[in-house]
Structure 1
Amino acid sequence: MSKLTDLIRSAIEPIITKRGDELVDLEYVKEKGQNYLRIYVDQEPNGIDIAEIADLSELVGEKLDGMEPDPLPDPYVLELSSPGIERPIKNAKDWQKAVGEYIHVGLYQKIAGEKVFEGTLQAIDDEAIELLVKVKTRQKVLTIPRKLIANARFAIEF
């Protein structure tokens, strides 16, 4: 599926960036027999508003409808939205923005008996991240190798 999403990304990203917006993520999934193309966009510094999402949805839809050959020959639902408060952390720029922020990290394999951690991202380099996590009544800095991170996103601290 990555070839398809890469093709779509290369077709629509210029439209999105030309308007001063950022393509955060996109996914093409099948749920309950229906195909969905979900595109997450944002705008610095205060986020994207519904009017901009509506305008982008129209422009992106026109671009996709005009592509030959049609990259999505099966019927699908196009969804454009903000990534929301729990924005995914995907690339180097996202990781840099996340330093000092509370995040959720899912792992491919367990560390200290757990595959999911939430805490404040203290530092990041090419090899690992340092996450300040709460363990019972105290805080501890946990070093997590980046190759073990399956997914990461901003989170809400309770």
Structure 2
Amino acid sequence: MPISPPQVSELVEKLVAEQGFDLEDVTVNRRDGQDELTIVVDRDGGSDLDVLADLSNRISEVLDAVPELAEGDPYVLEVTSPGVDRPLTLPRHWRRNAGRRVAVDVAAREGSEARSVTGRIGKLTGETVEIVINHRGRIAVESIPLDAVTTAVVQVDFSQPSVTELELCGLDADEIERRRARDRTQLNN
């Protein structure tokens, strides 16, 4: 595939934005003799498979109009949302994951050592994120400057957080009820 990820980004970025998404990543890999093009998109509120399938069809139309791609070998196109293992690197990543469990590595700063913090993503204010920590029923909130975060990854979490934790994360009553209803449904299936 004679096209690079930056070229693909340039081709699809406007379309992705028009559909209400942010273009998070583009990769081009060769696997088993075939090129694989992966486009990672995200938006506030997430998306379902039907929306991603529609976006994939629209992106495919744009790419198929490019002579180098249309005339070259066939390629596999995957349009996906960020996986749970994607690091949080931008403020919008933190905002979109409010209330989710996260493991954060914090760099050493003047007066403190490097450390790891695990808790729920709370409010994002300016250049600081709050992490809501529940240690055996005792809830605390720690503010961490985003520029002190060396790595942060959302964790797979099977526990159901308390309403208090979710309120401290900045979620409103409707969002808390929606998440709790979803969790109850998943437990019953």
Q: Considering the TM-score relative to the shorter chain, is it more than 0.5?
A: yes
Does the CA contact (< 8 Å) of 1:86 and 1:156 recur in 2? no
Identical pairs, percent: 22
Superposition TM-score, scaled by structure 2 size: 0.54
Alignment map for 1:104-143 (pairs within 5 Å): 104-107=102-105, 109=107, 114-115=115-116, 117-136=117-136, 138-143=138-143
**Structure 1 unmatched runs, 5+:** none
SS in 1 for 2:151: strand
Alignment map for 1:140-151 (pairs within 5 Å): 140-147=140-147, 148-151=149-152
Matched, 1:103 2:101: yes
Does the CA contact (< 8 Å) of 1:102 and 1:118 recur in 2? no
- The RMSD of aligned alpha carbons is 4.0
**Matched residues in 1 for 2:17 and 2:127: separation?**
30
Residue 66 of structure 1, CA deviation = 3.6
Runs (4+) of structure 1 exceeding 6 A deviation are: 31-34, 84-88, 110-113
Match of 2:61 in 1: 62
Residue 12 of structure 1, CA deviation = 0.7
Determine which structure has the larger helix proportion and give its number.
2
Does the CA contact (< 8 Å) of 1:88 and 1:152 recur in 2? yes
SS in 1 for 2:59: helix
Superposition TM-score, scaled by structure 1 size: 0.61
Alignment map for 1:9-28 (pairs within 5 Å): 9-18=9-18, 20-28=19-27
